């Protein structure tokens, strides 16, 4: 009994020294580069390939239309020259309307591609959010931040959880 009583202060000191270390870990902050993770997970790469194929197809169509307009402009320049008669003016106005139509089509295609990208990546982001929560709870993190565009000025490398997120995502969603 005396032996246990002599060890009690040492045991209390040992417990006191280990508890702050555990609570310091519980206040850990981590960060994730979601943009990089989206591009590096297998599902994200497949989504980006699909988007790129769609983009390439639409770009080819637009380039074809642009080429047609260039030919039409060359033809009009030869035919019209500096003429200001009503028929020439009508042809010029028709050409300008086609140019405006092509510009509008280009804007619509860009918006459609952005919507497609957002739709394709939303599901992946939602799945990543669940994995980030897992990492946070399992690793004792109080906060996990998202970094974008290299806005992080300094952080110790062990706080970067991006690689862990990518690895766990690829494991879970093969």
User: pLDDT band at 72, cuts 50/70/90?
Assistant: confident
User: Fold for domain 27-172?
Assistant: Protein Binding, DinI Protein; Chain A (3.30.910)
To 5 degrees, how large is the angle CA 125–CA 130–CA 131? 95
Beta bridge partners of 146: 32
According to the model, what pLDDT value does residue 63 have?
93
Distance CA 9, CA 130 (A): 44
For residue range 111-170, what is the model confidence (pLDDT) as tens digits? Answer: 999 999 999 999 999 999 999 999 999 999 999 999 987 778 888 999 999 999 999 999
For residue range 15-64, what is the model confidence (pLDDT) as tens digits? Answer: 444 444 444 444 789 999 999 999 999 999 999 999 999 999 999 999 99
């Amino acid at each position: 009994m005396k032996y246990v009583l002599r060890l009690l202060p040492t045991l209390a000191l040992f417990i006191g020294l280990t508890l702050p270390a555990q609570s310091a870990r519980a206040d850990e902050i981590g960060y994730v580069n979601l943009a990089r993770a989206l591009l590096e997970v297998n599902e994200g790469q497949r989504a980006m390939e699909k988007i790129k194929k769609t983009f390439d197809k639409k770009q080819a169509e637009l380039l074809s239309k642009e080429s047609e307009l260039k030919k039409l402009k060359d033809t009009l320049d030869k035919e019209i020259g500096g003429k200001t008669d009503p028929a020439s003016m009508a042809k010029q106005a028709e050409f300008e309307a086609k140019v405006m139509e092509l510009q509008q089509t280009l804007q619509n295609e860009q918006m459609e591609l952005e919507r497609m990208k957002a739709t394709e990546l939303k599901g992946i982001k939602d799945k990543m959010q669940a994995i980030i929560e897992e990492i946070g709870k399992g690793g004792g993190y109080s906060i996990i931040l998202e970094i974008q565009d290299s806005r992080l000025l300094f952080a110790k490398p062990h706080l970067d959880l991006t690689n862990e997120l990518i690895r766990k995502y690829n494991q879970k969603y093969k």
